[in-house]
Amino acid sequence: MRQPLVVLVATLALTALHAPAHAIPRPDLIAGMGGSFATTGTPDGGGLSSSLSVLWPVGERAEFGLRVFADDTGTLEGRLADPNDGTDLGSVAVSHRWAYGASWRGDVTLYDRERWDSGLTGDFGYWRIEDDVRGRLTRASSAVGFALGGKLTRLVGTGNTAGLVLRYHRLFTNRDAAPSLVSRYATVAFEWCWLAKDRR
């Protein structure tokens, strides 16, 4: 599942960046890195969060496109004991959970002043949730979900922006059948945007 997502984004980005100027506006490319927190389910505790977005302009104050993401949502730790005498040998990861997928992303600028912008961001798409023990898959599930958040960015130089984005993620999982599944979490990320040349 991961390889098709990478191929999809790479193809979309290369096609857009090499398209004739009169055919389609060039998109902004946005890379994000941060962390997740306030996760539901077990394991929880949060972890690293990363994303890559390709957004096209829609009017003067909005953008729309595709985002792919990978979010660690937690690690469950246990104690390792010596099998001979029961001596505590320290903590060990019992289970690790992460979510990855792809979504449609839309951004709207609400306020801009000089080099600063602030606005809203939203996603709707597909989440794949996987549990593993040191890389060995133990459980997997899929969900449709959405994310809503706010962002604050600053123009850096003439062709880039940098800023912070806070998102609330809601996954439509069946927690009645499996209470340990993740249904909500939040992320905060630093995003760097390479603005399209024809929009500088």
pLDDT tens for 80-133 read: 555 666 665 556 556 889 999 999 999 999 998 888 999 999 999 999 999 988
Query: Is pLDDT above 80 for 154?
Result: yes
| Pair 181, 42: CB distance under 8 Å | no
Q: For the chain, how many structural domains are there in total?
A: 1
- Tell whether 81 is covered by a domain: no
pLDDT tens for 35-69 read: 999 999 888 889 999 999 999 999 889 999 999 99
Supply the CATH number for residue 103's domain. Answer: 2.40.160.20
Beta bridge partners of 166: 150, 188
Q: Looking at the whole model, is its pTM more than 0.85?
A: no
- Tell whether 8 is covered by a domain: yes
| Pair 102, 66: CB distance under 8 Å | yes
CA dihedral sign, ordered 60, 193, 54, 197:
positive
Give the pLDDT score at 20.
55
- Tell whether 87 is covered by a domain: no
